[in-house]
Chains A and B, each alone.
Chain A
Amino acid sequence: MTLTRRDLLERGAGLATLLAATAGGVRISFAQEGDEIRFGTLCPITRAGSIFGPGIQKGIELAAEDVNALGGIVGGKKIKLFSEDTQSDPDAGVRAAKKLIEVNHVQTLLGTWSSGVTMAIAPICIESKVVNMNVSGTTDLRNMDKKEYVWPVGGSNITYGKMMGEYAVKQGYKKCSFMAFNNPSGLTLGDEFKKVFEAAGGTCEIIVYNPNQPSYRAELTKALASKPEVIALGSYLPDTTIILKEAYALGEDVKWIGPIWAVSPALIQAVGADAAEGVVSIGAVPNDQSPAYASFKERYEKATGQPVMANPFAAMGYDMLAACALAAEMAKSGKAEDFHTKIRDVCSPDGKKVYSIKEALEAIRAGEAIDYEGVGGNMDFDLTGEAAPYFGYWVAENGELVFKGRIEA
């Protein structure tokens, strides 16, 4: 086949039309990006964190709905969410973070849960000038220079240790043994617990144990040797299960306190109602005293069919998006580079206390200083950039963990 000049012209024209159409398409998509603010969510939808991830994501979505229903932010721009799954895995988390940042051009990555994932994506967020809010507990996040881009709101191991200590002190316990899993989490919980407990006049001995043992009887013998009223645990589910089974066999009369990730419904299922009876679980709870809480609770439970208390991080997800949206409104910019330094300002305790996104936006537009109090926590960030949630306690009764109330610090 020979190519005539006419053919060439026709084909060339076709190509030019195609190029023009594509260029037009690109222009349209840029135009859309200008009218919206792109926020990313990066929750653990599958694997280890899957008991929390979908709830966190739903919390974030409810907040985005609220902002958009109020007419948007930064001069009427709507928030558009792009969501990826961390798979509770640092490698998958980093891949998802890069996709959200490079392909979707998001300004935030909200809702990471696993400390490993958060530590892996934190440098990427700082480098790319994207805000991350997470519920990770590692104390490494406290010491990191986060440049006001990375914000832990779920309570660190330090906070958990302190709150377990506060609970023990309030119960009037004077003598305690603390069994600590030999890793940074267990040791931090033990140290913080001991500080609080001994400051209140009690004595506390820390027994550190190694993981993956078929038996913890010697450790238990040591913990019981000082005849404590209570044994506190800086532990995980498998070791806690074995320890409680062995303690039950011994029949010693001692109380137990542990963090919610170890003393969970799965623990009661594994050891049975008898061995678990009376064991106390300490964990973060939503801010049920916020006027906005009831409406959030109703919408969340209707949307998911899950009680909001079963996943305290869900309400924190709502606050993550709310804080970022309010900061963007205050900075008058939807770019994280501009609004990341305003996050602390909209949650600062010096301002007027506001509980809903609506009253917060109105106050910001009226030029007032505000202190956003969330439905998940009070979102007051300390010097290290960490917000401590509220804490509550549960007691195992007849095979169920029963919520008893908040622990006031």
Chain B
Amino acid sequence: MSLRLFIQTIIDGISTGAIVALVAVGLSLVFRISRFVNVAHVDLATVGAYVTLLCATSLALPFGVAAAIGIVVVAVIGYLSYALIYRRLRHERAITLIIASVGVAFFLRYLVTFIWGSNQLAFDVPLLRAYRFGDFRISPYDLLIIATALAVFLVLHLVLRYSAFGRSLRAVSDNPSLARVAGVPTERVIGIMWFIGAGLAGVGGILLGIKAVLTPYLGWQLLLPAFAAVILGGVGSVGGTLAGALLIGIVGEIAAVYWLPTYRIAAVFGVIVVVLLLRPQGLFGTKAVAK
């Protein structure tokens, strides 16, 4: 019984962690290339969920199509926020960029509130019973979330490691000036990265919307866990972000079940402090340098 509960708790922790991972990975990618924490990233997740809702309900599109539109819209907004705001501020200190992103975050959140109101909304997707595997159970949507997270991370890993774009990206994030001299189209690489990062926030937001309910604070509530996952995994490391997010999910779930639910966050941050004391660069990080 107790072993069964423990394993079930880990399964549940993984599905919570997978959501955090999807939101965190975009945060990590953007950090890697632009060297600041884009606070508005989590609000892009919110926008993704609401645009999907609009397409699925008002325009009556199939949910998959609606989700695809939501992701693209968010990716474009993410790219535009870079092109119009952050690119102009790129020579400023990181704190200036962070404050600018806080402004963008508020703008997006209140735009959502203005258009859709602050009452909760929900996707019109059917409720499904959990699958049972022997003594264990997992809901189909959690399975979808875990599968999506794994697929996204696998593709990202392959692209970053083996494609020409991945090499350019690594070059730009390691040393932008040197990359430019070597003929890497730096601007284009950074723009594409913002596009992809924001799109991933949209994916996370839509999946979170399926699991929970849509409110203007949908993504905002994930900022702290996502940021923690990036730090824990090692800033800029895609694999590290996944590991960090899963650890956060599992530790939180174990603390809630075996200790007290109210200490969930405290336990997570306790573990983060211990990990960072032992490995200041994070689980998978190299010694990253922020401005």
A interface list, Cβ under 8 A from B: 48, 182, 207-210, 212-215, 217-219, 221-222, 237-238, 241-242, 245-246, 248-251, 266, 269-272, 274-275
Residues of A within 8 A of B256 (CB): 218-219, 222
B97 to chain A, nearest CB (A): 26
B139 to chain A, nearest CB (A): 4
Residues of B within 8 A of A241 (CB): 120, 122, 212-213
Residues of A within 8 A of B127 (CB): 245, 248-249, 271-272, 274-275
Additional A-B contacts beyond A250-B137, A275-B127 (4; CB < 8 A): A207-B261, A214-B19, A215-B15, A218-B256
Q: Are A210 and B122 in contact (CB under 8 A)?
A: no
Q: Are A248 and B257 in contact (CB under 8 A)?
A: no
Q: B129 contacts which of A48, A237, A251 (Cβ < 8 Å)?
A: A251
The residue in chain B whose Cβ has the minimal distance to the Cβ of A272 is B127
Q: Which of B122, B215, B253, B265 counts the most chain A CB atoms within 10 A?
A: B122
B126 to chain A, nearest CB (A): 8
Residues of B within 8 A of A266 (CB): 119-120
Instruction: Kindly state the separation between the CA atoms of A215 and B126 in the bound complex, as whole angstroms.
Output: 18
B260 in the interface, Cβ–Cβ < 8 Å? yes
A345 to chain B, nearest CB (A): 42
Q: Are A249 and B120 in contact (CB under 8 A)?
A: no
The residue in chain B whose Cβ has the minimal distance to the Cβ of A245 is B127
Residues of A within 8 A of B120 (CB): 237-238, 241, 266, 270
Q: B9 contacts which of A221, A237, A238 (Cβ < 8 Å)?
A: A221
Q: Are B264 and A242 in contact (CB under 8 A)?
A: no
B144 in the interface, Cβ–Cβ < 8 Å? no
Q: Are B212 and A221 in contact (CB under 8 A)?
A: no
Q: Are B265 and A214 in contact (CB under 8 A)?
A: no
The residue in chain A whose Cβ has the minimal distance to the Cβ of B8 is A221
Q: Are B260 and A214 in contact (CB under 8 A)?
A: no
Instruction: Kindly state the separation between the CA atoms of A22 and B257 in the bound complex, as whole angstroms.
Output: 74
Q: Which of A209, A210, A218, A221 counts the most chain B CB atoms within 10 A?
A: A218
Q: Are B122 and A270 in contact (CB under 8 A)?
A: yes
Q: Interface digits, B130-145 against A, CB 8 Å rule (1 contact, 0 not)? A: 1000000101010000
Q: Are B12 and A218 in contact (CB under 8 A)?
A: yes
B221 in the interface, Cβ–Cβ < 8 Å? yes
Do A242 and B213 form a contact, CB below 8 Å, given A214-B19, A218-B9? yes
Q: Are A209 and B262 in contact (CB under 8 A)?
A: yes
Q: Are B261 and A251 in contact (CB under 8 A)?
A: no
Residues of B within 8 A of A182 (CB): 262
Residues of A within 8 A of B261 (CB): 207-210, 218-219, 222
- A selection of 25 A-B contacts at a CB cut-off of 8 Å is A207-B261, A208-B261, A208-B262, A210-B265, A212-B217, A213-B221, A214-B16, A214-B208, A215-B12, A218-B9, A218-B264, A237-B120, A241-B120, A241-B122, A249-B127, A249-B139, A249-B141, A250-B137, A251-B130, A270-B121, A270-B122, A270-B213, A271-B127, A272-B127, A275-B127
Q: For window 1-49 of chain B, which residues contact chain A by CB distance below 8 Å?
A: 5, 8-9, 12, 15-16, 19
The residue in chain B whose Cβ has the minimal distance to the Cβ of A276 is B127
Residues of A within 8 A of B208 (CB): 214
Instruction: Kindly state the separation between the CA atoms of A217 and B208 in the bound complex, as whole angstroms.
Output: 14
Do A217 and B12 form a contact, CB below 8 Å, given A209-B261, A238-B213, A242-B212? yes
A54 to chain B, nearest CB (A): 17
Q: Which of A214, A218, A219, A266 counts the most chain B CB atoms within 10 A?
A: A214
Residues of A within 8 A of B264 (CB): 210, 213, 218
B87 in the interface, Cβ–Cβ < 8 Å? no
Residues of B within 8 A of A269 (CB): 122
Shortest 10 CB-CB contacts between residues of A and residues of B: A218-B256, A249-B139, A212-B221, A270-B122, A249-B130, A209-B261, A219-B261, A218-B257, A241-B213, A218-B253
A373 to chain B, nearest CB (A): 36
B243 in the interface, Cβ–Cβ < 8 Å? no
Instruction: Kindly state the separation between the CA atoms of A245 and B12 in the bound complex, as whole angstroms.
Output: 15
Residues of B within 8 A of A250 (CB): 130, 137
Q: Are A210 and B262 in contact (CB under 8 A)?
A: yes
Residues of A within 8 A of B252 (CB): 218
The residue in chain B whose Cβ has the minimal distance to the Cβ of A250 is B130
B231 in the interface, Cβ–Cβ < 8 Å? no
Q: A208 contacts which of B130, B137, B257, B260 (Cβ < 8 Å)?
A: B260
Residues of B within 8 A of A48 (CB): 118
Q: B128 contacts which of A207, A210, A237, A249 (Cβ < 8 Å)?
A: A249
Q: Interface digits, B236-261 against A, CB 8 Å rule (1 contact, 0 not)? A: 00000000000000001100110011
Residues of B within 8 A of A242 (CB): 211-213
B12 to chain A, nearest CB (A): 5
Instruction: Kindly state the separation between the CA atoms of A269 and B262 in the bound complex, as whole angstroms.
Output: 29
Do A222 and B257 form a contact, CB below 8 Å, given A242-B212, A270-B122, A270-B213? yes
Instruction: Kindly state the separation between the CA atoms of A182 and B120 in the bound complex, as whole angstroms.
Output: 20
B222 in the interface, Cβ–Cβ < 8 Å? yes
A224 to chain B, nearest CB (A): 11
Do A214 and B211 form a contact, CB below 8 Å, given A182-B262, A221-B257? yes
Residues of B within 8 A of A215 (CB): 12, 15-16, 211-212
Instruction: Kindly state the separation between the CA atoms of A274 and B128 in the bound complex, as whole angstroms.
Output: 10
B113 to chain A, nearest CB (A): 11
Instruction: Kindly state the separation between the CA atoms of A238 and B12 in the bound complex, as whole angstroms.
Output: 20
Instruction: Kindly state the separation between the CA atoms of A210 and B118 in the bound complex, as whole angstroms.
Output: 20
Q: Are B212 and A214 in contact (CB under 8 A)?
A: yes
Do A238 and B215 form a contact, CB below 8 Å, given A219-B256, A246-B139, A270-B120? yes
B267 to chain A, nearest CB (A): 11
Q: For window 205-227 of chain B, which residues contact chain A by CB distance below 8 Å?
A: 208, 211-213, 215, 217, 221-222
Q: Are A214 and B130 in contact (CB under 8 A)?
A: no
Instruction: Kindly state the separation between the CA atoms of A246 and B210 in the bound complex, as whole angstroms.
Output: 12
Residues of A within 8 A of B215 (CB): 238
The residue in chain A whose Cβ has the minimal distance to the Cβ of B260 is A208
The residue in chain B whose Cβ has the minimal distance to the Cβ of A210 is B262
Instruction: Kindly state the separation between the CA atoms of A270 and B119 in the bound complex, as whole angstroms.
Output: 11
Instruction: Kindly state the separation between the CA atoms of A272 and B126 in the bound complex, as whole angstroms.
Output: 8
Do A249 and B213 form a contact, CB below 8 Å, given A182-B262, A214-B208? no
Instruction: Kindly state the separation between the CA atoms of A208 and B262 in the bound complex, as whole angstroms.
Output: 6
Q: A214 contacts which of B118, B121, B139, B222 (Cβ < 8 Å)?
A: B222
